[in-house]
Amino acid sequence: MGHRLVAPGALSGVSVRCCGGMGKGEAVPACTQPPTHCADTGDGCAGRGRRAIVRGTVTHRRQGEGPLQLIFIAGTWGSGTTAMAAALAELGVPALGPHLHTNDPATPNAFELLPFRDLVLRYTDEATLTIKPDVVAPFARDLQAFAAEVAAGKHGAIVGARPRFLLKMPLAGLALPYLTYFFDLSVILMHRPLEEVEMTRQRRGWPELYGLAGGRVLVNKTFGALMAIKKPFLGVSYEALTQAPEASLAQVIDFCGLDDLSDNVARAAGVIRRA
pLDDT tens, 27-85? Answer: 333 333 333 223 444 444 556 667 676 666 666 554 445 678 999 999 999 999 999 99
**Quick one: angle between helices 212-229 and 194-204, nearest 10?**
130
Q: Strand pairing partners for 185? A: 70
Confidence class for position 107, pLDDT limits 50, 70, 90: confident
Please, are residues 185 and 175 in contact by the beta-carbon 8 Å criterion? no
Q: Render pLDDT for 115-172 as a digit per residue (tens, 0 to 9).
A: 999 999 999 999 999 999 999 999 999 999 999 999 999 999 987 667 899 999 999 9
- The pLDDT value recorded for residue 25 is 30
Predicted confidence (pLDDT) per residue in 207-266, tens digit: 999 999 999 999 999 999 999 998 899 999 999 999 999 999 999 999 999 999 999 999
CA 68, distance to chain mean position in Å, is 16
DSSP state of 94: -
Specify whether the CB–CB gap between 228 and 38 falls below 8 A.
yes
